[in-house]
Amino acid sequence: MNQSDDQVGLGPRRLAWMAVTETMKRRVPLDDVLEELSPKENLSPRDEALARAIAIVTFRRLGTLGRALNERLNRGPKDERLLHLLAIGAAQILFLDVPDHAAVDSAVRLAQEDAKLGHAGGFINAVLRRVARERDMILSQQESWLDTPTWLEERWVAQYGEELATKIAEAHRSMASVDISVKGDAAGWAERLGGIFLPTGSIRLVERTAIRDLPGFDEGAWWVQDAAAALPARLLHAKPNERIADLCAAPGGKTAQLAAAGAEVLAVDRSAKRLKRLEENLARLNLKAATRAIDAEKLDEAPFDAILLDAPCSATGTIRRHPDVAWTKSEEDIRKLSGLQTRLLDKAASLLKPGGRLVYCTCSLEAEEGERQAEGFLARHPEFVRQPIRADEIGGLDQCLTPEGDVRTLPCHLVSPEHERSGLDGFYVARFVKAS
Ligand SMILES: C[S@@+](CC[C@H](N)C(=O)[O-])C[C@H]1O[C@@H](n2cnc3c(N)ncnc32)[C@H](O)[C@@H]1O
């Protein structure tokens, strides 16, 4: 970053633009792209946070931005990078607390420094100034489904019905809360952190503060984990000294819960890099687990008392946190991932002692990665029965239970009129027991 960059806030906008473009081109998580590109821009933490905020809101409101721009482009350019530059500019004007002139001028400057877009400065200036002038009109047209790709809308309406599916789409417009899991004394930590003690046992932070600056972070008293993501490990009811495998473990939120319960945990993950992060997280928390970087399908171990399988999935249940998921995943991803989930479930079945418990979960809203997997598993494995989950095990949230006794949380669940921090990640959880 040079000094003139600094004066007009060019660095964070350049990073946001590159991150949106690369994420769309490569269909990979925005977080991974930001992690890869950030060091090259050498930004302050504050500017990095601004870049991230711009990129995230661009994905969160991509449908709204696309329509607003299309209507003002007069059959204009189709260059993808130019459209993304306009999108991050319009996102700042419409959805962030950024002066209009900063959003417009930085977009013009970024075009001018680009070998291919140098000519487009005047055009960008005109389009973005029009967006700013017509802001109220654009924001008054906020149909519920505008920011959801059609293929996801069709799936969710088919699975959940029009009314519930619409609530899901609307919930995706808001930022997710930050929830934490604690090693102990949840009520005490809720008070110390000024958070809300949720019925499920997690704490919901109300203020947006840098996590590392909060009391208890350095001493490893708690870790960040969505309240819904904390349910699967809790539902395994780990006991001290039980041998438990966490088959897709990194970065380790659920391993930490199992280890904190006193279990002897083997944390398995295919990615050595992600497993390293798990080890760092456990070290901060002063918790212990054995780790193995291996494809769980190839794991060869003596049978376990219990297994947690938090399988890789499309992650459509985390769109509030990762709005890029809606625009980078496809039906084909769901098809491939559901095949992997089936294989991992079969492997988990073979690694369990008679009488052992298996909790299967995914952070997906798609039935192929949830309800259909449970059905298929029980049909293939008559030696297993489902152990229905009771409402009192999940803080009385009976709206999150299916008729079969599985957990199905949605982004529109746990809505609180008392505070703006509502919602849960979309998770599916089923629990099975192997015959003795
Ligand atoms: C949903 S994430 C797990 C999140 C983790 N359980 C937690 O609570 O922090 C899925 C993980 O599965 C891992 N994974 C994907 N395929 C795998 C496989 N075949 N064997 C083992 N791990 C796998 C990925 O590297 C990823 O870390």
pLDDT single digits (tens) 379-417: 999 999 999 999 999 999 999 999 999 999 999 999 876
Among 257, 269, 291, name the best residue to mutate to test ligand 1's pocket (greatest count of ligand atoms within 8 A of Cβ).
269
Q: Which protein residue has the closest C-alpha to ligand 1 atom 12?
A: 248
Which two tokens mark 295?
A: 């494809």
Collapsed DSSP state (helix, strand, coil) of residue 341: helix
The pTM of the full predicted model, rounded to 2 decimals, is 0.95
- Does the C-beta of 315 come closer than 6 Å to ligand 1? no
Is residue 5's pLDDT more than 60?
Answer: no
Distance in Å, CA 247 to ligand 1 centroid: 7
As annotated, the active-site residues are 363
What value, to the nearest 5°, has the Cα angle with vertex 429 and ends 424 and 434? 160
Residue numbers belonging to the annotated binding site for S-adenosyl-L-methionine: 248-254, 269, 310
Question: What mean pLDDT comes out for the span 157-164?
Answer: 98
Q: Which atom of ligand 1 lies closest to the CA of 363?
A: 1
Query: What pLDDT is stored for residue 4 in this prediction?
Result: 52
* Average pLDDT value for the chain: 95
Q: How confident is the model at residue 110, as a pLDDT?
A: 97
Rounded Cα distance between 69 and 328, Å, is 20
Question: What is the arithmetic mean of pLDDT over 199-225?
Answer: 92
283 contacts: CB under 8 Å, gap ≥ 6: none
Q: Per-residue pLDDT for 43 more than 80?
A: yes
Q: 92, 105, 108: which is closest to 56 by C-alpha?
A: 92
Q: Who has greater pLDDT, 6 or 232?
A: 232
Span from the CA of 362 to the centroid of ligand 1 (angstroms): 10
For the chain, what's the residue count? Answer: 436
Distance 27 CA to ligand 1 centre (A): 19
pLDDT at 34: 97
pLDDT at 77: 62
Per-residue pLDDT, 208: 79
Query: Does the CB atom of residue 248 touch ligand 1 within 6 A?
Result: yes
Q: In this structure, which residue's CA is closest to atom 13 in ligand 1?
A: 248
DSSP 218: T
| pLDDT number for residue 420 | 66
Residue keyed to tokens 């590392």: 212
Q: Pinpoint the alpha helices (H) of 194-271.
A: 231-235, 253-260
Assess whether the C-beta atom of 339 lies below 6 angstroms from ligand 1: no
Q: What tokens does 268 get?
A: 């398995």
Burial class of residue 347, CB neighbours in 10 A (0-12, 13-18, 19+):
middle
The architecture in CATH of the region 228-434 reads 3-Layer(aba) Sandwich (3.40)
Question: What spacing in Å lies between the alpha carbon of 400 and ligand 1's midpoint?
Answer: 24
- Binding-site sequence positions: 248-254, 269, 310
pLDDT, tens digit (0-9, with 9 covering 90-100), for 284-305: 999 999 999 999 999 999 999 9
Report whether pLDDT(418) > 80. no
Q: Does pLDDT of 3 surpass 70?
A: no
Half-sphere exposure of 369 (CA within 13 A, CB side): 28
User: What does the alpha-carbon distance between residue 74 and residue 127 come to, in Å, rounded to a whole number?
Assistant: 10
Cα–Cα distance for residue pair 236/248, rounded to 1 Å: 15
**Whether 108 contacts 118, CB under 8 Å:** no
For residue 334, how far is the Cα from the chain centroid?
A: 16
Where in the chain do CATH 1.10.940.10 domains reside? 3-140
For residue 75, what are its two tokens? 């059959």
Return residue ranges of the chain for CATH 3.40.50.150: 228-434
**Is residue 159 in contact with ligand 1, taking CB distance under 6 Å?**
no
CA distances for 329 relative to 65, 242, 333, angstroms: 19, 37, 6
Instruction: Quote the pLDDT of residue 206.
Output: 85
Which residue lies with its CA nearest to atom 18 of ligand 1?
295
Q: How far is CA 377 from CA 77, 210, 348, 408, in A?
A: 50, 42, 11, 17
- Ligand 1 midpoint to CA 6 (Å): 39
Q: Is the CB of 268 under 6 A from ligand 1?
A: yes
Q: Is the pLDDT of residue 195 over 60?
A: yes
Q: Which atom of ligand 1 is nearest to the CA of 246?
A: 6
Query: Is the bond leading into 77 cis (omega within 30 degrees of zero)?
Result: no
Give the pLDDT of residue 142: 85
Domain 3-140 grouped into CATH 1.10.357.10? no
Query: Which residue shows structure tokens 């992650």?
Result: 315
